[in-house]
Amino acid sequence: MSAPILPDLQAQAVSGQGPAYLPEFRPSTLGTMGIELELMVLDRLSFDLFPAAPDILRLLDAHEKPWVHTPEITTSMLEVATSILTSYDEAAEQLEHIRATVQRAAFEVGASISGGGAHPFQKWNEQRIYPKERYFASERKFGYLAKLFTVFGMHVHVGAGSADEAIRLCAWLTQRAPLFIALSANSPCWQGEVSGFCSARSNVVGAFPMSGVLPPDVRSWQDFRNYFDGLAAHGIVNSIKDFYWDVRPKPEYGTIELRVLDTPLKPVYAAALACYARELCLEFAEQAGRWPANTSRELYVWNRFNAARDGVEGNWIDPESGATLPIAEAIRADLARLGRRSRDPGFPKAIEVLETLMRDGGQAGWLRRHLAAGGGMNDLARLASEMFG
C-alpha cells in the first residue's frame, strides 16, 4: 500500500533518532486493501540468498509504476507494496506487474526473486544489515535477532474507516489470524534442517519483545494511545513499527494490518489471501459494536501453534463456539458464507485459488513431497524461485 509522506516527527521516531510518536489515525475507506510482500533475492546458480537488493532497488527506481519498493532489514531481502486496491482482479493484475518488473530487474544483476516464508538453507550469521540507520538501530537494539529476522512475510492492509473501528476490527481479525498462517504456510525448512513445521517463519517473530496480539482491554483508539504512551514512557516502544503484533493498527494508512502470512510462492495466491481478509473485515464491520466473546491468550497461542505446525491439515478451536474444527473446514465455511455476501465480482476466482491452497497439504505439503522424493535444499529453493517466476 503506497505510503503517505510521514511527518518529520514520525520518521525520526521510526529511525530511533527522535522521541516516541504516534500519529493521529488517518480517515480511510472501509474495505480498501493494500498488499506488502517481502521477497527473497537469490543467486541464480546456487539459489542461496544473494545480497543484491540494493542493486535491484536502484534499477526499480527508474520505473514509473503505481506500486512502491523499499529495502528490508538485510540486503538479501526487498519489499514491494501495492497501491490502494478494491478487488481481486485489480490485486491479481498489479501483483503480476510487480512480479514481472522485479524479476527483470533481478535478472540484470545476476539474481532471481522468490516467494516463500523462510529460505531453506541460508545461515542467519552470513546476512548483512541493509545500510540504513533504522536497521542499524534495530541491530543495536535486538542483537543477533536482527539478522535472524531474515524471514519473508506478506502483510495485508484493510481500510478500517475510523480509529475506533480499527481497534475493533483488529480484535476480530486476530481471532482468525491462525487460519491465514495455515493457508499461507510454505516454510517447512529452517537453517538447512526440516523444521517439523509447515511455517517455520511463524516461530521467529515470537522472539521479539513486542510480539503477540492486541491486549483485550484495549477497546478504543484512546485506549490504544494510552497504552502506547505508557510503553513509550518506559522506552519500550518509539513508534507503531515497534509492535510486532499479528494484527496491528496502522494509523498513517488508516488501516489494520494482518502480518502473519508467509510470502506466497505465486502472486495470485497473495491476491486471494488478501481478499479473504478483506471480506472478513467487511463482514465484521456489519456487526457494529460487537466484540469477540473469548479473547483467551492461551487459546490464541494454541491455535497459532497448531496452524504453524500442521498448516491446512491442522485443527482450530473456534474462540466463539469452542468447537474444534479441521482448519480446512473452518476456512471453507468462511468462504461459503463470504461468497454469498461479497460484492467483489472476482471473489469466486479468489475462492478457487484458496481451494488450491488447501489441496494436498497446501504449499508446505508440495515442498515436503519434493524433499521426500529426493530433492535437496538447493532444489527446494530453485523450485520456489521457478514457481514465482
Angstrom distance (rounded) from CA 84 to CA 90: 10
What number of other Cβ atoms are within 10 A of residue 356's Cβ? 14
3-state secondary structure of 367: helix
Q: For the chain, list the strands marked E by DSSP.
A: 33-43, 68-71, 77-81, 111-114, 153-159, 189-190, 193-194, 211-212, 244-245, 247-250, 255-262, 315-317, 324-326
Sorted by sequence, the CB contacts under 8 Å of residue 3 that are 6+ apart come out as 68, 81, 252, 253
Which grid coordinates are listed for 129? 544489515
pLDDT value at 1 more than 70: no
Tell how strand 111-114 and strand 193-194 pair up. Answer: unpaired
Specify the pTM: 0.96
pLDDT value at 133 more than 90: no
Angstrom distance (rounded) from CA 120 to CA 128: 18
pLDDT at 6: 54
Q: What is the pLDDT of residues 79-95, one digit of tens each?
A: 999 999 999 999 999 99
Average pLDDT on 174-186 reads: 98
3-state secondary structure of 255: strand
Q: What is the pLDDT of residues 3-24, one digit of tens each?
A: 554 558 887 887 778 899 999 9
Angstrom distance (rounded) from CA 211 to CA 247: 10
Among the listed residues 260, 265, 271, 246, the one whose alpha carbon sits nearest the alpha carbon of residue 365: 265
Average pLDDT on 291-295 reads: 95
The amino acid occupying position 384 is A
Angstrom distance (rounded) from CA 1 to CA 264: 17
Tell how strand 244-245 and strand 211-212 pair up. Answer: parallel
pLDDT at 220: 98
Average pLDDT on 155-174 reads: 98
